[in-house]
């Protein structure tokens, strides 16, 4: 093999599937058209709790499935997939029936006409601080301990020279990927073949096998292209089980896609949070005690607890520490993963509190964070594999013009517009899951690399091409990467910002082995490699800077500038990396100023369940967003030296904007989104 003149990793390679996408040749799940395909539409509950008492009949359709006649399923760990197996209704919007017809129009019309009657119960749908149902869950998302207490925080607060003790709130937020949750299911004898919009074909095929009582080899999940997910497609959702049930019932391939409105109930969301953050410090702003307490909700059907307060275990030094999580179960849909679950709302509260501490002590917000840098992980005491938060803060301050900032609120008035700037740290853990890849030499100078990875719009296929090319010593154009199929070698989900690190390690290993040993093919399994990495505390860090303009008369807020500076190991592809980082920051802007799923107390439903009423940033809202990174060498991660970048961009943005709003107006807003009435 000849070694390529230039290394592929680190080059801004265009997406290898980009031409297929812009020409409309990249097929998504719902776009496949097997012979004899028919269509299904979901019917969802119009009560928040109770039972289905009757489901009517319909003419002109192929089938109506409900709890009364649906094929039996096996119960699995996720009760959301145990669909149409009971008359019980646990939240408004739960699927209670499916209508199957020859055309999409007929299926949806039938779903509208289907009469379902209910026996409704009383419901409880609002998260509140005094709710009597709070309890301590056994653990929280990510495998973290529910609580952590070190030292005597209460005594330390009592003796601190300066104390910040405030409450912060974030609303329910919905993922709203561009491609809805859509599936095509077909039974080939006793084998189930599914085209699905999923972040993990391998894990989904195992789950579907359990649900239908099959062996794993009897299920195939195909998903080469996914139109976004933000976590909501990280585990199978009800639509894929419903499509398979309908296909089993009618004996034909069935397509089913949730509508945008149905996605607000059936596909997960970010739980609302109520948080209390306390910081005790000396007069110079050095933290002596830190406490972060988080309240969140889950459904009656499923326990899911975000790891909201775990950020306080990582970010800053302090001898006395507490972080806790409490959960209450309500008559609401089940929350789930949404870009940086836990870290995103947790960092909003913690970084807002840090800004309040900066004001209380008179210490510059950047200097305050630098003074509280922990030399080792503040709770596990592990050495950092690398930690360059201060470098990001310093680099960002230089690029943003922080030195010219007057720290006094309401100091900059431009006509009738108040200007303010703010900063917040960003953080996300480094995860890595086992994976297995196969590399094949075609004998004509080209190579094929296979792994059941997923590209949800992040550029994963391109990054893996670059990693494979360097490991093989060839140009990227000589490499073809196969992903998105559970028949390919095992791979973890595209989630937790661990895709490139996990899949890339397996791809690198297989390609290096092929290059060194020769032969037609080589494989590599990374399971044995991961344990050796646990001796280090591994995180990506960053700093987000924001400039806002607030109309002094109307209270309208505009984000004029956002700058993110990140330390995320080796950047595999600068072009796709920048896209991910500014995408996360833009989502953080939406969280700060626009996004909120509003609960209707009377009906137990999120009332603004479409993109006309659930507002996300558009081009006019994103005037100037830039992301850069500092060079970071970290040998304790993976063969590429990379850290995940899909989620860190969102974790500092909301707090940076809220801190800038305070600087502009003198008003501290602790509940998102920031609204006009907060500032008038």
Alpha-carbon distance of 646 to 133, in angstroms, equals 35
The closest of 40, 106, 98, 107 to 70, measured between CA atoms, is: 98
Strand partners, 538: 386
Alpha-carbon distance of 517 to 105, in angstroms, equals 57
The catalytic residue positions are 647
Sheet strands (E) in 93-248: 95-101, 116-120, 139-140, 144-145, 148-150, 162-170, 182-188, 191-196, 219-222
**DSSP structure class, residue 455:** -
Alpha-carbon distance of 242 to 81, in angstroms, equals 9
Alpha-carbon distance of 51 to 36, in angstroms, equals 35
Alpha-carbon distance of 595 to 344, in angstroms, equals 14
Sheet strands (E) in 287-339: 287-299, 320-330
- Pure H helices in 227-383: 238-250, 260-266, 343-361, 365-371
For residue 161, the SS3 value is coil
Alpha-carbon distance of 236 to 259, in angstroms, equals 17
* Cβ-contact 593, 559 below 8 angstroms: yes
* Cβ-contact 540, 430 below 8 angstroms: yes
Interstrand relation of 191-196 and 625-629 (parallel, antiparallel or unpaired): unpaired
- Measured from the Cβ of residue 22, the count of other Cβ atoms closer than 10 Å reads 10
The closest of 489, 470, 429 to 202, measured between CA atoms, is: 489
Alpha-carbon distance of 18 to 2, in angstroms, equals 27
Alpha-carbon distance of 351 to 355, in angstroms, equals 6
Positive or negative CA dihedral for 502, 506, 507, 508?
Answer: positive
For residue 149, the SS3 value is strand
What backbone phi and psi angles, to 5 degrees, belong to 23? -90, 0
Give the contacts of 162 (CB within 8 A, at least 6 positions apart). Answer: 280, 281, 282, 283, 285, 357, 360, 361
Half-sphere exposure of 638 (CA within 13 A, CB side): 30
Give the contacts of 116 (CB within 8 A, at least 6 positions apart). Answer: 43, 45, 46, 52, 54, 55, 56, 66, 96, 97
Distance between alpha carbon 596 and the CA centroid of its chain, in Å?
Answer: 16
Alpha-carbon distance of 68 to 55, in angstroms, equals 8
Q: Reading across the β-sheet that carries 50-55, which strands appear in turn?
A: 88-89, 50-55, 116-120
Widest distance between CA atoms in the chain: 76
If phi over 0 gives left and psi between -120 and 50 gives alpha, with beta otherwise, what is residue 67? alpha
Query: What length does the chain have?
Result: 680
Alpha-carbon distance of 397 to 544, in angstroms, equals 10
The closest of 644, 656, 540 to 589, measured between CA atoms, is: 656
For residue 679, the SS3 value is helix
């Amino acid at each position: 093999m000849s070694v390529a003149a230039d290394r592929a990793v680190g080059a801004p390679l265009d997406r290898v599937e980009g031409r297929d996408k812009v020409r409309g040749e990249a097929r998504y799940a719902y776009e496949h058209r097997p012979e004899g395909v028919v269509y299904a539409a979901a019917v969802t509950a119009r009560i928040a709790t109770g039972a289905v008492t009757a489901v009517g009949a319909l003419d002109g359709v192929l089938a109506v499935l409900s709890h009364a006649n649906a094929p039996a399923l096996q119960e699995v760990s996720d009760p959301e997939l145990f669909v149409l197996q009971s008359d019980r209704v646990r939240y408004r919007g739960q699927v209670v029936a499916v209508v199957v017809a020859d055309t999409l129009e007929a299926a949806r019309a039938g779903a509208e006409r289907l009469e379902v009657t209910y026996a409704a119960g009383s419901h409880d749908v609002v998260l509140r601080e005094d709710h009597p149902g709070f309890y301590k869950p056994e653990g929280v998302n990510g495998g973290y301990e529910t609580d952590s207490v070190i030292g005597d925080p209460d005594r330390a607060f009592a003796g601190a020279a300066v104390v910040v003790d405030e409450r912060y709130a974030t609303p329910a937020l919905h993922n709203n990927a561009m491609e809805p949750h859509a599936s095509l299911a077909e039974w080939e004898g006793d084998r189930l073949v599914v085209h699905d919009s999923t972040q993990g074909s391998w894990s989904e095929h195992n789950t579907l096998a359990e649900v239908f009582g099959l062996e794993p080899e009897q299920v195939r999940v195909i998903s080469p292209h996914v139109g976004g997910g933000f976590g909501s497609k990280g585990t199978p959702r009800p639509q894929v089980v419903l499509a398979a049930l309908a296909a089993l019932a009618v004996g034909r391939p069935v397509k089913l896609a949730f509508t945008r409105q149905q996605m607000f109930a059936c596909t997960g969301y970010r739980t609302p949070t109520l948080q209390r953050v306390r910081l005790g410090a000396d007069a110079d702003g050095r933290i002596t005690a830190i406490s972060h307490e988080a309240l969140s909700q889950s459904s009656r059907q499923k326990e899911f607890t975000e790891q909201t307060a775990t950020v306080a275990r990582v970010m800053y030094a302090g001898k006395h520490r507490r972080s806790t999580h409490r959960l209450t179960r309500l008559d609401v849909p089940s929350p789930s993963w949404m870009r940086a679950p836990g870290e995103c709302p947790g960092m909003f509260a913690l970084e807002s509190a840090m800004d309040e501490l900066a004001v209380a002590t008179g210490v510059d917000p950047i200097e305050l964070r630098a003074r509280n840098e922990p030399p080792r992980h503040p709770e596990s005491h592990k050495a950092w594999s690398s930690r360059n938060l201060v470098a990001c803060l310093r680099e960002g301050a230089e690029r943003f013009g922080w030195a010219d900032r007057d720290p006094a609120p309401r100091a900059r008035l431009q006509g009738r517009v108040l200007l303010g700037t703010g900063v917040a740290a960003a953080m996300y853990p480094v995860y890595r899951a086992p994976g297995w890849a196969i590399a094949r030499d075609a004998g004509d100078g080209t190579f094929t690399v296979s792994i059941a990875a997923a590209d949800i719009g992040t550029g994963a296929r391109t990054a893996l091409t670059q990693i494979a090319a360097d490991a093989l010593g060839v140009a990227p154009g000589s490499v073809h990467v196969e992903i998105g199929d559970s028949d390919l070698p095992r791979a973890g989900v595209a989630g937790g910002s661990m895709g490139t690190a996990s899949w890339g390690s397996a791809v690198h290993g297989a390609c290096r082995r092929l290059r060194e040993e020769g032969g037609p093919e080589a494989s590599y399994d990374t399971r044995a490699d991961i344990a050796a990495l646990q001796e280090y505390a591994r995180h990506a860090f960053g700093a987000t800077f924001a400039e806002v303009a607030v109309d002094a008369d109307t209270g309208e807020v505009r984000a004029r500038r956002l700058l993110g500076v990140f330390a995320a190991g080796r950047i595999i592809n600068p072009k796709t990396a920048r896209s991910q980082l500014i995408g996360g920051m833009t989502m953080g802007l939406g969280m700060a100023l626009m996004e909120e799923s509003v609960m209707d107390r009377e009906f137990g439903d999120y009332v603004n369940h479409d993109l006309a009423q659930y507002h996300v940033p558009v081009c006019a809202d994103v005037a100037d967003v830039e992301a850069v990174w500092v060079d970071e060498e970290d040998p304790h991660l993976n063969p590429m030296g990379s850290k995940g970048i899909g989620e860190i961009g969102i974790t500092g943005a909301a707090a940076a904007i809220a801190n800038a709003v305070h600087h502009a107006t003198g008003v501290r807003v602790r509940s998102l989104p920031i609204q006009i009435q907060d500032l008038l």
